[in-house]
Structure 1
């Protein structure tokens, strides 16, 4: 079973390949900073399926969720804090390689990249679509490396 370093490398390779391909075809040519961010989103997507185990990815995600939840509570945005807390509990209801390792979760979980800016900030979804795709590609790279297909 691949470790977190393999999942990071796989997600980064997929992101680099997708960016090179879309740039070469002239479909999408982001700046350097955007490419770095897209790579990070892909790596995060590649680590997420293992949040249901004691892993470095889990510690990262729950640490980030704790910080964001604390900020939301401090700002008295209890509704958003409760939604984040609810979503953070979801991986715990399944077994390892359960629902977090499914094709539909790879499409659904990253949708928060689109929905959060829309619902929380009132922003349009289109600028965030490349980040959604990067997260989905990273997520699928995890599933491929775990031989779920």
Structure 2
């Protein structure tokens, strides 16, 4: 089973390669900040399954979540800060390699990336779909690496 460095490396190769390929083939066209955000979502998603146990991956994930939460609070985005806190707590409701390491969770856990912007800001689903896909790719990379190693 790879550690957090293995998961981050594997996700970097898969998600980074996919983004680079899509850009090269002109399948997608997006500003650099959007591309960086998609890549960051994939990296965070690849760490998510291991947030259910004490690990360096868990520490990395929650450090990033805390920074984002503080930024949201500073910007008076209290609803988003509360939602982030709620969803960040969910892995503690199971045991290690429990529900966070299932294929259905890979598809369900990222769904708020589509539905919350729709509910709060009336953002069309096709705008947030790339972020959902990035999260599924990152999450899936974690599950594949755990299966292989």
**TM-score normalised by the chain length of structure 1:** 0.79
- Contact in 1 for aligned 2:47/2:61 (Cα 8 Å): no
Cα distance in 1, alignment partners of residues 27 and 89 from structure 2: 38
Worse-matched range after superposition: 83-92 or 108-117: 83-92
Corresponding pairs, count: 147
Alignment of 1:126-145 (within 5 A): 126-145=126-145
Mean Cα deviation higher: 10-19 or 27-36: 27-36
**2:19 paired residue number:** 19
Distance 1:8 1:50 in 2: 12
Seen in structure 2, the aligned counterparts of structure 1 residues 5 and 122 have a Cα distance that, compared at 3 Å, is same
CA-to-partner distance for each residue in 1:16-35, whole Å, 9 max, x for gaps?
Answer: 22113323443213333222
CA contact (8 A) 1:69 1:84 kept: no
Structure 1 unmatched ranges of 5 or more:
none
User: What residue in structure 1 maps to residue 4 of structure 2?
Assistant: 4
- Verify the 8 A CA contact 2:49 2:142 in the aligned structure 1: yes
Query: Normalised by the size of structure 2, how large is the TM-score?
Result: 0.79
Output one character per residue of 1:110-131: Cα deviation in whole Å (capped at 9) or x when no partner. 1121122122223222111111
CA RMSD of aligned residues (A): 2.9
- Aligned pairs for 1:38-117 (under 5 A) are 38-63=38-63, 68=69, 86-117=86-117
